[in-house]
Amino acid sequence: MKFLIRWSVGLLSLFCLMFLFSFQAAAAVKVKNMRLGNQPDGARVVFDLSGKPEYHVFLLDSPKRVVVDLNDADIEQLKTRVSNQIISGARVGILGGNDKRVVIDLSRAAVVKKTFVMAPQEGAGWRLVIDLKQTSEGNFKTQLGDKYTQSNTTNKPDSEIKPIPRLSAAYISEPEPVPVSSKVRRKRIIVLDPGHGGKDPGAIGSYSRTYEKNITLEVGKELKKILQNRGYIVYLTRENDIFIPLRQRIKIAQKHKADLFMSIHADSARNHRATGLSVYTLSDTASDQEAAALAERENKADIIGGIDLGGNTKEVNDILISLSQTDTRNRSSKYATYLVQEMSKSVKLVRNTHRFAGFAVLKAPDVPAALLEMGYLSNRTEEANLRTPAYRKKLGEAAARAIDRYFTDPEIASIY
């Protein structure tokens, strides 16, 4: 009898141990994906996870890198197929036991602005979010090591790392374009905004007196035709020579439930030798003085219609800008990146082509948006080019290719 009791207790203990080990194995957090997004002052890294993670995030130098240590984590394969302005690559390693390390290589100095965990919501699972901010070399060096670790546990990170050959290394690369029709379940909605119109002529060409409002409308109509042939639903904020206040243009995009908004413009400068195309997305602060001046000039266009919708105080405008969702800005920046890349194949660009400024027309918090400056009407050659249908068509085709790439980007495609 005693033998049977001891045997039963031993068997029960064995089952308990087996259950405990299986529970611990099942409790390991699985890293499903790593996504990268551009922000005006840096980048966002998002890890998609099967459960709530325990993490440590800190910086190391030589080479510059962000280290993400994950306790009790399972990473079978970690890949990313999106480009990023400050990240050059990523790799995976093991710390010991089931703890993993992801090393994110930096192409320029950056600091960890903040880290946080997002619980499952609206169909998305657990996420670990890491916001990186560009900084100076000197400030980067003051933020190195364990002392500046951001974590949700009290355990110290392990500085040793052993590479795991069997795991696929993360990589940064451009996705191959995929035909839109093979990826979408519903047609994407694009709202094109030909700048100016009616009482507001916009810039006026220095040599042939070309009105910006006419050029933007012609390009808008050409791009609409190209995009419709590719299967998109396209609306114009104006189809003729009328004035529409800037914030009304935003409402048009929201009314049509736009997946993407693009405002079309042509620039002007006192220096008639200035040339090149540029792309703008929304930011709290302008990327340079020229961007700030251009945004101020464009935003004042509302006054022409008799109602000064652009006369908010700085505090109100700052609040309006801050209400723009970070995710929307990230997607805007992603589209701008593709737009710059495609335009570079066809036309001349300004230096630092992707710029940031507080354009009122880009302030819809729920619609990814970019503003295209097609060139300078103050320059004889660019004014002549923009008056040419073949050149306008070339711009339209480049913009359409960028839109194709945007919607077939894995991160964007996963949203729909």
CATH of the domain at 39: 2.60.40.3500
For residue 81, being part of any structural domain is answered with: yes
My answer on whether 156 and 265 are in the same domain is no
Angle at 316 between CA 296 and CA 281, to 5 degrees: 45
Q: What is the pLDDT of residue 115?
A: 92
How many other C-beta atoms lie within 10 A of the C-beta of residue 385?
A: 19
Q: What is the pLDDT of residue 320?
A: 40
CATH of the domain at 393: 3.40.630.40
For residue 54, being part of any structural domain is answered with: yes
My answer on whether 200 and 148 are in the same domain is no
My answer on whether 147 and 247 are in the same domain is no
Backbone conformation region of residue 203, classed left if phi is above 0, alpha if psi is from -120 to 50, else beta: beta
My answer on whether 110 and 229 are in the same domain is no
Give residue-wise pLDDT tens across range 323-357: 445 667 788 888 999 999 999 998 888 877 777 65
As for how many domains the chain has, the answer is 2
For residue 289, being part of any structural domain is answered with: yes
Work out the mean pLDDT of the chain and round it to a whole number: 77
Dmax over CA atoms of the chain, in Å, equals 109
Give residue-wise pLDDT tens across range 251-260: 898 899 999 9
What does DSSP say about strands 260-267 and 126-134: parallel, antiparallel, or unpaired? unpaired
My answer on whether 330 and 216 are in the same domain is yes
Angle at 252 between CA 183 and CA 177, to 5 degrees: 20
Q: What is the pLDDT of residue 296?
A: 57
How many C-alpha atoms does 327 have within 13 Å on its Cβ side? 8
My answer on whether 118 and 200 are in the same domain is no
The parent domain of residue 314 ranges over: 180-413
Q: What is the pLDDT of residue 362?
A: 61
My answer on whether 239 and 327 are in the same domain is yes
What does DSSP say about strands 126-134 and 110-118: parallel, antiparallel, or unpaired? antiparallel
Examine the pLDDT at 33 and tell me if it is beyond 80.
yes
How many other C-beta atoms lie within 10 A of the C-beta of residue 85?
A: 16
φ/ψ of residue 230, rounded to 5: -95, 5
Residue 188 has what DSSP assignment? -
Cα separation, 212 vs 200, in Å, equals 9
Above pLDDT 70, what percent of the chain? Answer: 69
Give residue-wise pLDDT tens across range 155-175: 655 544 444 333 333 433 333
Which of 138, 163, 188 represents a domain boundary (last residue)? 163
Give residue-wise pLDDT tens across range 377-409: 999 999 999 999 999 999 999 999 999 999 988
Tell whether omega for the bond before 120 is within 30 degrees of 0, i.e. cis.
Answer: no
Who's near 66: CB < 8 A, 6+ residues apart? 45, 57, 58, 59, 103, 104, 106, 110, 112, 130, 132
**pTM for the full predicted model:** 0.52
My answer on whether 254 and 193 are in the same domain is yes
- Is residue 82 within 8 Å of residue 140, measured between CB atoms? no
Above pLDDT 90, what percent of the chain? Answer: 35
Query: Residue 237 — very low, low, confident or very high, per pLDDT cuts 50/70/90?
Result: very high
For residue 399, being part of any structural domain is answered with: yes
My answer on whether 140 and 193 are in the same domain is no
Q: For the chain, how far is it from start to end, CA to CA, in angstroms? A: 65
My answer on whether 57 and 110 are in the same domain is yes
For residue 285, being part of any structural domain is answered with: yes
Give residue-wise pLDDT tens across range 274-315: 899 988 887 645 444 544 454 455 444 443 333 343 444 454
Which of 99, 128, 163 represents a domain boundary (last residue)? 163
For residue 20, being part of any structural domain is answered with: no
